[in-house]
Amino acid sequence: MTAVHLRIIGRRLPGSTWSGRSGIHVGVQRGAEVVGLVIGDAVDAVFDIDLDVVDGEDGQLDFRGPYVQGRRGERFVYLSWGEVDDEGTFAMFRRLKLHLAPLVEYTSAESVLAAKKIQAVLELTDTRGRPLAASVRPPWVTWRIGFGSRSSA
């Protein structure tokens, strides 16, 4: 098992109001909890999480950890949208799946296992100006891999 740091950079956020909703925030889901909330008016939403990468006996990589959702071969990370009320309570209304399999498909298993840092860069507003809620794969996300101590930016 290899620990890999994943930085998710969400750009072009949709704003903090939409379709009668206000106080819109986005966060990354850890288990059933949404953490690291960023207001929808922010310039960027940045989430730093750790993934465990397992090189399976079948030669296929598997992703694990508290932020990883889904079945083997279909793993993903949720970014969740919700409203934050005056008491600070978050109420989710939609979410997107950032699929991890394309990371291997567009690079290689060897480069993922050797990586110390990985970046996922995506826009968080869809083509209609709404908070993005979809299964996100390239070209909606750009994967960048950094090795050792080199920067991935």
* Chain segment 84-127, per-residue pLDDT in tens: 999 999 999 999 999 999 888 878 888 888 888 999 999 999 99
153 within domain boundaries: no
108 within domain boundaries: yes
Are 72 and 66 within 8 A, CB to CB? no
8 within domain boundaries: yes
Q: Is the predicted pLDDT of residue 148 greater than 50, yes or no?
A: no
* Amino acid letter, 99: H
List, in order, residues 6 or more apart from 135 with CB less than 8 Å away: 76, 96, 97, 99
DSSP code per residue over 30-52: ETTEEEEEEETTSSEEEEEEEEE
Query: In the chain, how many domains are there?
Result: 1
Q: Is the predicted pLDDT of residue 149 greater than 90, yes or no?
A: no
Q: Region of 32 please: left (phi>0), alpha (psi -120 to 50) or beta.
A: alpha
* Chain segment 58-90, per-residue pLDDT in tens: 778 999 999 999 999 899 999 999 999 999 999
82 within domain boundaries: yes
Residue 151 banded pLDDT, cuts 50, 70, 90:
very low
Structural domain span for residue 13: 2-147
Sign of CA pseudo-dihedral 21, 23, 24, 30: negative
pLDDT of residue 55: 86
Q: pTM score, two decimals?
A: 0.91
Are 104 and 112 within 8 A, CB to CB? yes
